[in-house]
């Protein structure tokens, strides 16, 4: 039996202006922590290079999608003015939301991480909390530095996929200053931090698992990914 293919979205890095005419506006890359995560699972990983072609063509060879973390999306994409967003990227969010929508229509399982969870919510019509420290009462410290992420406790809802594999309360690796403002239709609340920030959600049909923390940088990533593979393909590493 062939290994399931996991398609991983890439981060978009703006190219030097002087190089753009020859090389294009964007460079595409992936943090090694994601490579380490998938290396511990019995899958064939492939990077999904953004193209102008129909995203469904990319998904024809993919069995599961991993939507990775990244910078803040432009708040105009969910109908808000800037209230603390940084960078305000448009092209990657637009492309990945379309990728997600196609994956859903093709019933392909999706694992969303940080920005990935936010883009899922946005694609389903939800808005974001643009800056937790100024928009949440008595907020936890969710946002460390890239080389020093924060760790905080997350409570996981009873009866969820995440609860079954992670337990009721865990400490997670956190590196974000934004979060989803609500649970979209067709999803259920799966996890939250002590300040009420939503840290996890799951689709009602069980095909989408999304978390706000960075499981590729703590113990939870292999547990979630291998459990998804076992659930949908009857095998783990």
CA distance 211 to 226: 15
- Within its chain, how far is the Cα of 177 from the centroid? 14
* Residues with catalytic function: 114, 214, 216
CA atoms within 13 A on the CB side of 97: 19
**Residue 73 Cα distances to 76, 94, 179, angstroms:** 8, 9, 11
- Contact criterion met (CB below 8 Å) for 170 and 228: no
CA distance 81 to 196: 23
CA distance 17 to 134: 34
For the record, the structure tokens of 117 come out as: 């969870």
- Contact criterion met (CB below 8 Å) for 50 and 10: yes
CA distance 88 to 78: 12
Length of the chain: 237
């Amino acid at each position: 039996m062939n290994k399931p293919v996991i398609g991983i979205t890439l981060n978009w890095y703006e190219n030097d202006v002087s190089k753009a005419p020859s090389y294009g506006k964007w460079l595409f890359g992936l943090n090694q922590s994601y490579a380490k995560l998938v290396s511990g699972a019995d899958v064939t990983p492939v990077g999904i290079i953004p193209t102008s072609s129909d995203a469904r063509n990319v998904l024809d060879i993919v069995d599961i999608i991993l939507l990775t973390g990244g910078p803040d999306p432009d708040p105009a994409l969910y109908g808000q003015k800037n209230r603390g967003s940084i960078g305000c990227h448009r092209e990657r969010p637009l492309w990945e939301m379309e990728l997600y929508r196609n994956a859903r229509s093709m019933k392909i399982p999706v694992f969303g991480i940080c920005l990935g969870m936010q883009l899922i919510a946005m694609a389903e019509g939800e808005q974001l909390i643009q800056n937790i420290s100024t928009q949440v009462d008595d907020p936890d410290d969710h946002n460390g530095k890239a080389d020093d992420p924060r760790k905080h406790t997350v409570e996981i809802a009873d009866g969820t996929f995440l609860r079954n594999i992670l337990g009721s309360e865990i400490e997670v690796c956190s590196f974000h200053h934004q979060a989803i403002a609500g649970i979209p239709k067709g999803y259920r609340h799966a996890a939250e931090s002590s300040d009420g920030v939503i840290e996890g959600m799951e689709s009602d049909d069980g095909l989408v698992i999304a978390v706000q923390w960075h499981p590729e940088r703590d113990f939870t990533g292999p547990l979630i990914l291998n459990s998804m593979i076992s659930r949908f393909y009857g095998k783990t590493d």
